Amino acid sequence: MSAVRTQAERLLEQATTELEAGGVSSPRHDAEVLLSHVTGVPRMMLIGSAKPNGLQVKSFSALVSARASRVPLQHLTGSAAFRYVDVEVGPGVFVPRPETELLAGWAIDHAKTLSSPVVVELCAGAGAISLSVVHEVPGAQVHAVELDEPAYEWAQRNLAGTGVDLRLGDMADAFPDLDGQVDVVVANPPYIPLDAWESVAPEARDHDPALALWSGDDGLDAMRVVDKVAWRLLKPGGVVGAEHADAQGESAPAVFAPRWADVRDHRDLADRPRFVTATKPRG
């Protein structure tokens, strides 16, 4: 037993050192996730129970090297945990972030107050928000749109059999058949200014699709489209929520301020500005 434990410990220590040298922010965590992925042993049981064979050790080493070169962890494992679901991800689609779970939770909480809510997700990416809504609000009618074809294909996989109406296209002219009929519009649009290239982590900059990241000189071009589309789609009293960069805690709400009611910004778990919500006036 001690030899197995020593082997697992040694593999994790070596991997942690390599990932740390590569600039990975959570080296030990990522090493454990990758060893668990390779061996099928839960993270908390790796030290005592993992018995990697030669092929698994080789696979683990290759995955660690890829992660050290800043390939996203979720691309290497093939999935990302998001609220109560697992979302399949890989090259060609934006990896859902934990911060976005708060925006999804806001949309879900609002939808739960309605008997037969109609929810639209713009810029759906892998479909994580839509998948969470149908999982947590069984009576919801959910529609989603994604412009990027590779990302749309990932969303198709994740939303197959869920009843979500997924469409390929530009959010700007999406769902004309739903104008004035929607209760909740939710979006995690691109919001990084074009001149912020150097400040973006390699995992996102080098691996997430460009369409999911960049949004004009101030990062708010897509947010302005969300404003227009949500206004068109929502019923009076309907609500819109959209994620933004932490530096846009004032500029993102300002996009909605002229004609929306109850424009509010919300902070994430690290107490940073993260998403804006607004209500379409009834009168």
Question: What are residue 179's phi and psi, to 5 degrees?
Answer: -50, 125
Is 138 part of any known ligand binding site? Answer: no
Is 190 part of any known ligand binding site? Answer: yes
Q: 70: which 2 tokens?
A: 């800043």
Is 152 part of any known ligand binding site? Answer: no
Is 27 part of any known ligand binding site? Answer: no
Phi-psi sector, 177: left (phi>0), alpha (psi -120 to 50), beta = alpha
- Burial class of residue 20, CB neighbours in 10 A (0-12, 13-18, 19+): middle
Cα–Cα distance measured from residue 145 to residue 109, given in angstroms and rounded to the nearest whole number: 21
Is 191 part of any known ligand binding site? Answer: yes
The residues with which 261 forms a beta bridge, in sequence order, are 279
Report which residue type is found at 58: K
Strand 141-146 versus strand 182-187 pairing type: unpaired
Which residue numbers belong to the known binding site for S-adenosyl-L-methionine? 146, 188
Which residue numbers belong to the known binding site? 146, 188-191
Which residue numbers belong to the known binding site for substrate? 188-191
